[in-house]
Each structure stands twice: as structure tokens, then as C-alpha cells.
Amino acid sequence: MPFEGYRVTSPYGYRTDPITGQRNTFHDGIDLVKGHQAPVGAFIPGKVLYAGNGVSGTGVGGYGNVVVIQDKYNRAHVYAHLSSVTVKKGQTVKQGDIIGKQGATGARVTGSHLHYEVRKKSSPSLGWINDPKARTLDPTQYVKDYFVAESVTGNNIYVVKAGDNLTKIANAYNTTVDALVKLNGIDNKHLILIGQKIKLPGKTNKKEILYLPKTASSWRVYSTTVAPVKGNEKGFLNPRKFGGLQYEVLGRPQANVVTIQTRDFGKVNIYVGPETGAILKKI
Ligand SMILES: [Zn+2]
């Protein structure tokens, strides 16, 4: 749910018109409620194209106090029925910047809410055409997709340098040549060009945690440079003594063996096969 802190009072798409009672009318945005005069932050960064009372003929007539923000794909984001507007035309806003306050201004408003609309185009007339479905995109989907795309174009791009090849790049970013070929639609994996942008698989950012249950009183750990087998122990952990123990997983040198950092033995490998009762969880 990209609209954190809001209640959705009317979704995007076909609905019964709340004022006329007419069925199957198309709602061109999503109605969100936080509280009357609650600050409204921008869902998507961009440039303010319009800020103030929506004047007839501009593309936002009847929208009340309204802010229109153009994003980098030239979509127009319309924040309508605001009680007040706190940005100016021409201003650049980041995601989360306060642009106004929730209100009930404009025509055809049943109560205080934010009407948020994403228009396919931002010009002419702020992307207005008299067909609500053809004019707009599903705001929930758009905001979700925008940040997925962002995580690829924003952070996870590698620019090819002299002497690079896909194997080298794959190894450096903990992925495979096949994964890069697939993700980037590369025809010839032996041919990449200097300056070419290579998308890297998205990072999960999730930590994996190892839990050792308090029922165990003695758990072998091994130096990372030896085989994790009986006789090679560096020491023993005692989960029972501590009511269970937990560690961040730092690596997986082999099946059912993970690397952890311990207080007493430093960085060690530990066997965590299913029969041991160890629990691994991504958080
Ligand atoms: Zn609405």
C-alpha cells in the first residue's frame, strides 16, 4: 500500500457516483482520507505545474485548491480539494514534501478528502481530456511501479568500463552471467560496450537471522578456514544459558552451513541442518 497513513474511501475505476447515484461511472483517481487539514505529502517527486484554485479551462477546473506535479516521465499528478496549498508553480518537490492540506474545496465534494489522480500526460491543459478512463492511470499501481523502476534505474545500474566482461561484472555483484543476459535482453553475451548500462538484479536488503533455540545446550562452531566436521570445533555455543541465541547470517559457505559473528569465537561457521532445530528467517 503506497499511501501510508491514509484510508481509501473510494478506489480508482468504476463505481456508483457518490453524488448523482449513477452506476458505472468511472472514478478517475483515488480518494484518500487522513484527517481534515492533515498535511499532504507528494507521493512522487517532480515539478509543480499548477498550485492554487483550479480555474475553469486550465485542465483542473472544479478541482478546488489543487496541486499538479509533473514527474520525470511527464505524467501529471493531481492533488485535489485541498484546504490550502503550500507550494508554488515551478518549484521542485521530493517525495514526501508537504504540498498542501487535506480539504473539501471545489465542485462535487462530499466531504474532506484528497482526490489523487495520475494523468498520462501533463500537457496541453495539464493532460486533461474529457474521458476519465483514457486520461488517467491507476494511481496505486503507478506509485508502486514507479518505485520498482526507481530501484533499478536509481541504484542498480553498472556502467561498463574498459576491460570489463559480463563474467567479471556478474562476479563483482554476486549474480550470474545468465541473470544479467536475461535482465538486460543481451543478444551476445561476449559483446558489451564501454559506457553500456547494465541493470543489476534488485537487492533484497533483507537480513537473514539465525535463531538457535533455548532447548539446545551445546552447539558446535568452526573456524571459517576448516571443514565444519567433528574434531574441528573452535568452540561451543550454549543457547540454553541465554534463553536462545540469535545471529545475523553473514554467508552460506555450503548447504546447511552459515557464517555468523560470535562474541566469544569471532567469525565462525555453524551447521544448521533441519534436524538441528535452528531457524533461519529473513527480516
Ligand atoms: Zn475522487
Which domain range does residue 195 map to? 156-199
pLDDT band at 134 (very low <50, low <70, confident <90, very high): very high
Q: What mean pLDDT, rounded, does the chain reach?
A: 90
Identify whether residues 114 and 174 lie together within a single domain: no
Whether the predicted pLDDT of 44 surpasses 80: yes
pLDDT band at 164 (very low <50, low <70, confident <90, very high): confident
Identify whether residues 221 and 120 lie together within a single domain: no
| CATH at residue 244 | 2.30.30
Identify whether residues 21 and 126 lie together within a single domain: yes
Identify whether residues 215 and 118 lie together within a single domain: no
Q: Is residue 1 part of a domain?
A: no
Q: Is residue 66 part of a domain?
A: yes
From the CA of 63, how far away is ligand 1's center (Å)? Answer: 10
Per-residue pLDDT tens over the stretch 53-103? 999 999 999 999 999 999 988 999 999 999 999 999 999 999 899 999 999
Q: Is residue 150 part of a domain?
A: no
From the CA of 103, how far away is ligand 1's center (Å)? Answer: 12
Express as a percent the part of the chain with pLDDT over 70. Answer: 95
From the CA of 116, how far away is ligand 1's center (Å)? Answer: 7
Identify whether residues 46 and 90 lie together within a single domain: yes
Instruction: Decide if the complex's ipTM is over 0.85.
Output: yes
From the CA of 76, how far away is ligand 1's center (Å)? Answer: 15
In this prediction, residues 150-164 reach a mean pLDDT of 68
Q: Is residue 52 part of a domain?
A: yes
From the CA of 252, how far away is ligand 1's center (Å)? Answer: 50
Q: How many domains does the chain have?
A: 3
From the CA of 32, how far away is ligand 1's center (Å)? Answer: 8
Identify whether residues 184 and 67 lie together within a single domain: no
Identify whether residues 111 and 30 lie together within a single domain: yes
From the CA of 44, how far away is ligand 1's center (Å)? Answer: 18
pLDDT reported for residue 235: 94
Q: Is residue 2 part of a domain?
A: no
pLDDT reported for residue 206: 67
From the CA of 233, how far away is ligand 1's center (Å)? Answer: 65
Q: Is residue 74 part of a domain?
A: yes
Identify whether residues 215 and 92 lie together within a single domain: no
Q: Is residue 100 part of a domain?
A: yes
Name which of 38-52, 107-121, 165-179 the model is least confident about.
Answer: 165-179
From the CA of 74, how far away is ligand 1's center (Å)? Answer: 21
- SS3 of the chain: the string is CCCCCCEEEECCEEECCCCCCCCCEEECCEEEECCCCCEEECCCCEEEEEEEECCCCCCCCCCCEEEEEECCCCCEEEEEEECEECCCCCCEECCCCEEEECECCCCCCCCCEEEEEEECCCCCHHHCCCCHHHHEECHHHHHHHHHHHHHHHHHCEEECCCCCCHHHHHHHCCCCHHHHHHHHCCCCCCCCCCCCEEECCCCCCCCEEEEECCCCCCEEEEECCCCCCCCCEEEEECCHHHCCEEEECCEEEECCEEEEEECCCEEEEEECCHHHCCEEEEC
From the CA of 129, how far away is ligand 1's center (Å)? Answer: 16
pLDDT reported for residue 205: 57
Whether the predicted pLDDT of 175 surpasses 60: yes
Identify whether residues 192 and 212 lie together within a single domain: no
Name which of 101-110, 128-137, 177-186, 201-210 the model is least confident about.
Answer: 201-210
Q: Is residue 151 part of a domain?
A: no
| CATH at residue 134 | 2.70.70.10
From the CA of 119, how far away is ligand 1's center (Å)? Answer: 13
Residue 214's CB is within 10 A of a number of other CB atoms, namely 14
pLDDT reported for residue 242: 87
